[in-house]
Amino acid sequence: MIGRLNHLAIAVPDLEAAAATYRGVLGAKVSEAVPQPDHGVTVIFVELPNTKIELLHPLGDNSPIAAFLQKNAAGGIHHICYEVDDILAARDTLKAEGKRVLGDGEPKIGAHGKPVLFLHPKDFNGALVELEQA
């Protein structure tokens, strides 16, 4: 069902400082900050040869990243994103297996402009999993 690793998301308390570290210290190609109001985050993508790192920073007081940073003030890994060929078929298979899809269960458009769903961490060894349609 799952395809390639699309990205690893890291919540950061200072988006520009994190971007500067990847850009300057590690020499990575780093995108501009892009607000994602539907998801309550601002994102910066770090391009790697085989995947991406997604730097996440809260956008608004109700951001899920704000709550994450309250518990993890220095930041940390927030989720891992895998590609799937058909997000609705993947959702239906997972639900039939008793796995929980977060939210209303309907895909939303993610930071790459493609449909995404999040899966409950308790069903995936403590890791929040994002699925993105390839």
- The count of residues in the chain is 134
Helix, strand, coil percentages, rounded to 5, for the chain: 25, 40, 40
Which entry of 16, 32, 54, 130 is annotated as an active-site residue?
Answer: 130
83 is catalytic: no
Structure tokens given for 67: 């709550």
Question: Is-contact 126 78, C-beta < 8 A?
Answer: no
Pairing of strands 108-109, 76-84: unpaired
> What secondary structure letter does DSSP report for 101?
B
Q: Which residues are annotated as catalytic?
A: 130
